[in-house]
Amino acid sequence: MGLWLKNVRPVCFHESGNRSGVAISDGGTIRESPLPDDEVLDADGLFLSPGWTDLHVHIWHGGTDFSVPPDRAGLKSGVTALADAGSAGEATLHGLRKYIIERRPETIRAFINIGSIGLVACNRVPELFDSRFIDVERTLAAIDANRDILCGVKVRASGEVVGDWGISPVRIAKRVAESAGLPLMVHIGNRPPDLEEIFALLSPGDIVTHCYNGTAGGAVTRSSAVFEHACRLAGTGVLMDVGHGSASFDFGVAAKSIAGGLVPFSISTDLHVRNVDGPVHDLATTVSKLHAAGLGFSDCVNAISTNPRRFLGLSGANGLTPGMRADFTLFALVARQKQVADSGGNSLVLRKFFEPRFAIIGNRCVRVEPSRSGRAGSQR
């Protein structure tokens, strides 16, 4: 049976015009118009965007001590596409593929960790302790065998991970990414290495994740020179990703950066077991924080849908084109006073909240309970 979504408000699509309804065939593709026997979902004025997409999660549950079950990050949170950001290295990527990616209804891609063991025992056993922890040839072989699920190479470039090895893992990861024809995602934080060392290695299409972290050595706002360098990089096509996490998002850095013109390409959660019950919770809470920090509504929606979907090669602004596979999130922007925290424990009261109501992939429609975003849901 087909599905007719009526009384929707499309946002961040090309040529949506005055459209207030979307017809989906029983095969899950967009039709020009509904049929008499289509099931009807009256959205009652909800916003319809390209499917929400979280470009930085950790969902290799059972393969690391760090990852959440993918059910905590996906459809029941209003999220239709996910990218696992380095939970698996070359030694464990096959498991992430077989037991997570191939079993889930969401679209899932992965950044392969340059460290062979990935985040199997995150921070207890650093994946980049020394040169023995990187096997370039095996990593390149794993990339070649899994190109259909990979979207990039991940390196965590902060002191607690690389220690005295400094910038070397980033250099190796960049060479591997270039050899494989993939972008590099770099986690920034405490020194070493220094931000300027990292920035000097990046190219258009690479990603800086944790771009609004508040660490003493890793904050882009720590000096005007660093901030201007970050802005220049963004202007050349290096992509800024939020990656909230448990230690990597600061309200003050975000507000100052946004006001200064350094806006995020993508808003992501860095969801894992140490933050899923706070302060991150889910993508809805995270985008609401960015909105409160000064990011406009359209920029917020683009950063959780169109932009990351374009990076992953998925439908986005063209998602209403007849024949395209349906992939949408229906949501409301509700007035709600809600106290939230950043990674450092600083608090802020939200006045508006992005509240997902339905996630749609093909002709499958999953209801998200508005008061329990990221937790319970039910399927049509």
Q: What is the helix (H) or strand (E) element at residue 330, kind and residue range?
A: strand 327-341
DSSP 3-state percent helix, strand, coil across the chain (nearest 5): 25, 25, 45
Same domain, 234 and 336: no
249 neighbors 341 (Cβ within 8 angstroms): no
Q: Do 105 and 170 belong together in one domain? A: yes
State phi, psi for 349 to the nearest 5 degrees.
Answer: -100, 115
In the numeric block, the tokens 């302790």 are attached to 129
Confidence (pLDDT) at 375: 38
Give the number of domains in the chain: 2
The per-residue pLDDT for 374 is 35
Q: Which residues of 197-233 are buried (b: 16+ CB within 10 A; e: fewer)?
A: ebbebbeeebbbbbbbbbbebbbbbeeeebbebbeeb
HEC secondary structure over 253-278? HHHHHHHCCCCCCECCCCECCCCCCC
Same domain, 261 and 341: no
What per-residue confidence (pLDDT) applies to 98? 98
- Domain end call among 296, 311, 326: 311
Quick: pLDDT tens for 82-136.
999 999 999 999 999 999 999 999 999 999 999 999 999 998 888 998 899 999 9
Asked if residue 233 and residue 307 are part of one domain, the reply reads: yes
**Among 278, 311, 344, residue at a domain's last position:** 311
**Tens-place pLDDT, residues 349-378:** 999 999 999 999 999 999 996 544 333 344
Helix H or strand E segment including 227? helix 224-236
What is the domain-level CATH number for residue 44?
A: 2.30.40.10
For the record, the structure tokens of 175 come out as 């060479």
In this predicted structure, what is the pLDDT of residue 280? Answer: 97
Is the domain of 112 the same as that of 83? yes
288 and 151 in a common domain: yes
Give the pLDDT confidence of 228-285 residue by residue, as tens digits: 999 999 999 999 999 999 999 999 999 999 999 999 999 999 999 999 999 999 999 9
- Of 311, 329, 360, the residue at which a domain comes to its end is 311
The answer on 223 and 293 residing in a single domain is yes
Residues 202 and 256 in one domain: yes
Q: Is the model's pLDDT at 16 over the cut of 80?
A: no
Q: Write out the residue range of the structural domain in which residue 231 sits.
A: 52-311
Give φ, ψ of 202 to 5 degrees: -90, 150
pLDDT value, residue 18: 76
Predicted local distance difference test score (pLDDT) of residue 123: 85
Same domain, 105 and 182: yes
Q: Are strands 150-157 and 107-113 parallel, antiparallel or unpaired?
A: parallel
Cα(254)–Cα(252) distance, integer angstroms: 5
Region 308-332: mean pLDDT is: 97
State what percent of residues in the chain have pLDDT above 90.
Answer: 92
What phi, psi does 276 have (nearest 5°)?
-65, -25
Residue 376 pLDDT = 38
Predicted local distance difference test score (pLDDT) of residue 15: 77
Q: Tell me the CATH number at 235.
A: 3.20.20.140
Banded pLDDT at 380 (limits 50, 70, 90): very low
> Do 298 and 361 share a domain, yes or no?
no
For residues 204 and 304, membership in a common domain is answered with yes
Do 145 and 286 sit in the same domain of this protein? yes
3-state SS class at 301: helix
